[in-house]
Structure 1
Amino acid sequence: MRNDLGNRLFNGISLLSIFMVLSLHGCGGGPEDTRPVRNSVSGVITYQGNPVEDAIIVFRPASSEGQTANGRTDATGAFKMGTFEGTDGVVPGEYTVMISKLEATSTSQALPEDDPNYDPNPTVEAPPKNLLPEKYANAETSGLTASVPEGEEVTDLKFELND
């Protein structure tokens, strides 16, 4: 009788252990995404009627709450926005928009101190120049806004920049 009770207890503990292991590891799914819901947002940026390549676009929440989103244009001026990673979309809400395109600059490499060309007092390089009118790089002066409705994709944004 004791042996039968021991077998039942052992089987019960074994089943409980298996259940706990499966509960801890889940059924193959990853961690639940607890970040705010995001909607796909895309559009086109032009300057004086021409597409703007490599422009950086930033959506800043119009209110104190919300998440900033950003994107970059391709050769056709098209962009897709992302909030947390890549082009994962934008949290619904109202946004002020900033757009800039920085001049490509060459980066100088720091030389080791034992290099004969080492300069202990290097000259400070100027920041890259914005190739678009400066007003568009500032949320307060750009005059650009975007609205992302809850549950809707926004695929037709057009920002036509001029001097």
Structure 2
Amino acid sequence: MRFLFIALGCVLITGCSRSGLHPVTGVVLLDGQPVANAALQFVPQEAGQDATGATDAQGNFAISTNEPRDGVKAGKYKVVITPRSTAPLQKFASADEAMKAAARPQPPPPSTFPQKYTRPDQTPLLVEVPMKEKSVRLELTSN
């Protein structure tokens, strides 16, 4: 009986490391330059759960499924990358002026980010997990 409790304790303690998830880290570059503050989505090509991440100022990222930086299950994933808006906040002289501006239709700001990377049905980016390398380098091009 004592052995059963010890064995059960070992399973409970090491259970998190046997989650079946593989760490995925890397960098996103557009024409050789880091892509800062972008959202990443790993879309499984078979049954599975999406995983997400975000790039820092240097384009580095770590992917999460359930908890920060826990990784993804083995499989093939399409990678979708969406830049976050960096438009400066507008300042208004009064609340009335702000309300009038909010009521006017605003065209979306022009994006220089290639749209093919922002949709799962168009992205050419594919990552297979577990990876052969320690991290993945996602090199995007403008054209």
The two structures have a TM-score, normalised by structure 1, of 0.62
Letter in 2 for 1:122: A
CA gap of 1:49–1:125, structure 2 versus 1, over 3 A, is same
Whichever structure has more strand as a proportion of its residues is 2
Task: Give yes or no for the alignment of 1:132 onto 2:132.
Answer: no
Q: SS state of the match for residue 135, structure 1?
A: helix
In structure 2, relative to structure 1, the CA distance for the partners of 1:116 and 1:127 (3 Å cut) is closer
Choose which of 61, 82, 93 in structure 2 pairs with 1:79: 61
Gaps of 5+ in 2: 1-11
Structure 2: how far apart are the matches of 1:74 and 1:156?
15
Residue 101 of structure 1 aligns with which residue?
A: 83
In structure 1, the residue matched to 2:128 is: 147
Taking the aligned partners of 2:39 and 2:96, their CA distance within structure 1 comes to 39
Q: Structure 1 vs Structure 2: percent identity of aligned residues?
A: 31
Matched, 1:42 2:21: no
Correspondence for 1:123 = 104
**Which residue of structure 2 lines up, in the alignment, with residue 10 of structure 1?**
none
Residue 36 (structure 1) shift = 5.1
Structure 1 residue 66 corresponds to structure 2 residue 45: no
User: Does the 8 Å CA contact 1:100/1:130 hold for their aligned counterparts?
Assistant: no
Task: Give the whole-Å Cα distance in 2 for the aligned partners of 1:38 and 1:44.
Answer: 20
Give the C-alpha shift of residue 77 in structure 1.
Answer: 1.2
Cα deviations by residue, 1:22-42 (Å, 9 ceiling, x for unpaired): xxxxxxx89x76x95211100
Larger Rg: 1
**Aligned partners of 1:129, 1:59: CA distance in 2, in Å?**
25
Query: Quick one: distance in 2 between partners of 1:100 and 1:130?
Result: 11
Moved over 3 A (4+): 105-108, 115-119, 124-131
RMSD (CA atoms) = 3.2
